[in-house]
Structure 1
Amino acid sequence: MGKGGFGIGRLGLWWQLRQAAGQDGAPVPDIPQGAGPLLLVHVSPDARVAFSQVQRRLMRARPDLRILELGDPSPSAAEALIRAGPAALLLFGSDLPPGLIDAASRHDLPVILAEARLAPEDAGWTLRALARRELLRSMRAVLVTDPASHATALRMGADRGCVAMTGPVAEIRDPLPCSEAERSVMAQLLRGRHAWLAASVPPDEEAAVLAAHHAALAQSHRALLFLAPRDPDRIDPLAEEIEASGLTVARRSRDEDPTDEVHVMLTDGPTEMGLWYRLAPVTYLGGTLGGDDAAARHPFEPAALGSAIVHGPMTQRFATEWQQLGGAGAARQVADAEGLAAAIAELSQPDLIATLASNAWTVSTGGADVTMRICAPVLDAIGKAKP
């Protein structure tokens, strides 16, 4: 951008600060007590859940760290906060509070922007966009979630050496537990059979799941379905319906085993999910086909345990996680019951399963890596701060 653009950017920033000056007189937030370093933090509303994960990691690394969360204080309040001697300012999300950033810049306080999603209009020529350009230029590090935001940050004039794409902070979930002895016994019973899991299946999707299993049996006559109905009260009537269709059923509730002649193993509903995910190379997550995803399982559950994922188009409950899986080629989306049957039949091929499962595992465990990449420049700034 030419000097004229930067001049207009400074004018836009001056106007924002002038508007914020109307808040002068508001009390300065109390500084947390303690002898440890002080970190000022501003969190955008849509980034609060992700920040809680980063905050836990920071506190594990520096138990003496004092974190002060702020809104967008007036210029005079921001000045007072900066004079309190913080080690750094962390902006989490896409908001760029002008008072805080301007005061930090004037006092050479490191400013780190993380989990930033920048819109194309941020690189435009409106007064607001030019002001945001001016603010971005003072950042020590700009950590964005996606390639489009990375390109936008560069177009806004951020130093290329300061911009990095970390990806979004995904929720870190510990793998669901199971009895290893039980898993080992079950695995021996399967003896290489192709198995798949339909998890948390609502009644209106049961027919689609069974049709998909018939398609799997057409590809592999020893295929086994672990069926976990959402409602445990459906186990007995569902067993009768399946047997009436000509398939053999085993029920976990009766301690029956998935022997060679069994086509469908009915689980105890939502219990022991860690066991079934480990045994099934492929998982269909119920509720995503018919739109009843209110009680759908978290997609990182099977992903973290090496099970390839199939799902329908209704993914509102965990939209961010599904978007991450889809973007990484880590899940197979189907449109309807016919698509489910085709996907389950196709995913009897080990190489396809392995690719999906590996990609899904990478996404589900990537939250820890992203969190550490965000914490690194913060901890570096804290370590270099004067005591």
Structure 2
Amino acid sequence: MGKGGFGIGRLGLWWQLRKAAGQDAAPDVPQGTGPLLLVHVSPDARVAFSQVQRRLMRARPDLRILELADLTPAAAEALMQARPAALLLLGSDLPAALVTASGRRDVPVILAEARFQPEDSGWTLGALRRRELLRSMRAILVTDPASHATALRMRADRRRVTMTGPVAEIRDPLPCSEAERSIMAQLLRGRHAWLAASVPPDEEQAVLTAHHAALAQSHRALLFLAPRDPARIDPLAAEIEASGLVVARRSLDEDPTDDVHVMLTDGPTEMGLWYRLAPVTYLGGTLGGDDAAARHPFEPAALGSAIVHGPRTERFPTEWQQLGGAGAARQVADAEELAAAIAELSQPELIATLASNAWTVSTGGADVTMRICAPVLDAIEKAGP
């Protein structure tokens, strides 16, 4: 883009600032003597802000963080009297008054968790205004390759653009009794086991069909079946036994002995135990679309269980997208594909690759958070006392 494009962008930005709406008075600045960090958070970046804030406060306990809504140009200029060390923008919103006021006072602006759309590199007045604002950024941290490419087409300085991936929610691994896990693991003695977690009634038959496929591959295969509704345990036990398989019930304190084909759990309880025991987990609700009570995909991922799922992933779209993009989960389209995947995933090397990739994704939020905090802390350090 030539100089004319930048000139139109500057003109459009000037006109936008003239018409800007927002808080008209400078917000109150937190008390204290530590450095002041201004933060603007887009609606889709609340998880990122929570984690970044915790990390920054651990690194600089004296840090004063002021979260801001959109301000008018006058309010933004007045806020600069507090001498902020930096402005951190989380998400794709670019608050023009804050960015412009920061640029005039040489306050470093760091944009993180940025997602750009193809139209951002177009020639509309709005796109040109966004390009002009990007020129003020000290660092631009984007979530995905498409956003990285778009930022470069927007003529952002290549040296300042970094792809970090998105900040995923960091979830602590679900607990379990280590004594119980150890006893169960000894009972399994190397048997191939898999877990069907939070299975709704309309997916029960697909899960049992998949287990028959697993048994054809390995006659000692064991299914841990966690029905979504605990009231289904006894009827399910009767149905499974009628099909010729041997069932054990956790509710009756029965153990998964060598002759048992299916272990019925107590529904949604003790999930930390079953994830640890099962190298492969199918997450229920993702095949038939009844995902209202679907488990979070990072639960099995954080505990080393490879993940199989159906196409209905509306409840946790970002997490599923991350897992899929990293080759960390196996998606199936229907009951037939589920059976094929479960049979194939009796091979340890395939399980290990999926599980390792999933663990990396589920814990990657901490790494991305650190990468966002690094330029912020650097700017704070350079700002001095």
How far 1:119 moved relative to its partner? 0.9
Are the aligned partners of 2:47 and 2:167 in contact in 1 as well (CA < 8 Å)?
no
Amino acid at match of 1:14: W
Q: Give CA-to-partner distance per residue, 1:33-86, whole Å, 9 cap, x none.
A: 111111111111121222112112112222221111112211110001112111
1:154 to 147, 152, 155: 152
1:303-322 alignment, distance < 5 Å: 303-322=301-320
Q: How far apart are the structure 2 equivalents of 1:304 and 1:49?
A: 18
Q: CA deviation at 1:23?
A: 5.8
Match of 2:232 in 1: 234
CA offsets 1:297-322 (integer angstroms, 9 cap, x no match): 00000001111100111111111100
CA distance in 2, matches of 1:161, 1:381: 16
Cα distance per residue 1:279-333 (max 9 Å; x no partner) = 1010000111111101000000000111110011111111110011011111111
- What is the distance in 2 between the residues matched to 1:248 and 1:46? 48
Distance 1:23 1:292 in 2: 41
**Equivalent in the alignment of 1:73:** 71
For residues 58 and 299 of structure 2, what CA distance do their matches in structure 1 show? 25
Q: How big is the alpha-carbon RMSD for the aligned residues of Structure 1 and Structure 2?
A: 1.1
Q: Distance in 2 between matches of 1:14 and 1:187?
A: 67
1:143 to 135, 141, 144: 141
The correspondence for 2:189, drawn from 184, 191, 198, is: 191
Other-structure match for 2:53:
55
Q: CA deviation at 1:204?
A: 1.2
Q: Give 1:357's aligned amino acid.
A: A
Match of 1:112 among 98, 110, 113: 110
Structure 2 alignment gaps of length 5 or more: none
Partner of 1:9: 9
- 1:277 equivalent to 2:261? Answer no
Equivalent residue for 1:348? Answer: 346
What's the TM-score, normalizing by structure 1? 0.97
Counterparts of 2:366 and 2:292, CA distance in 1? 27
Q: Aligned equivalents of 2:193 and 2:273: distance in 1?
A: 13
Equivalent in 250, 253, 258 of residue 252 of structure 1:
250
Contact 2:47 2:168 in 1 (8 A): no
The answer (yes or no) to whether the contact 2:87–2:110 under 8 Å persists in 1 is yes
Letter in structure 1 aligned against 2:167: V
Q: Per the alignment, in what secondary structure is the counterpart of residue 115 of structure 1?
A: strand
**Secondary structure, aligned partner of 1:309:** strand
| Alignment check: 8 A CA contact 2:167 2:365 kept | yes
Q: How far 1:336 sits from its partner (Å)?
A: 1.1
- Segments of structure 1 that go 5 or more residues without pairing to the other structure are none
Q: Deviations over 1:198-254 (max 9, x none)?
A: 001111111111111001001110000000111111111211111111100111111
DSSP-derived class of the 1:128 partner: helix
Q: Which residue of 1 aligns with 2:324?
A: 326
CA shift for structure 1 position 27 = 2.0
**TM-score w.r.t. length of structure 2:** 0.98
Contact 2:22 2:69 in 1 (8 A): no
Partner Cα distance (2:43, 2:177) in 1: 40
What is the total number of aligned residue pairs between the two structures?
Answer: 385
**What residue identity is the alignment partner of 1:291?**
G
Q: 1:285 to 1:23 in 2, by over 3 A?
A: closer
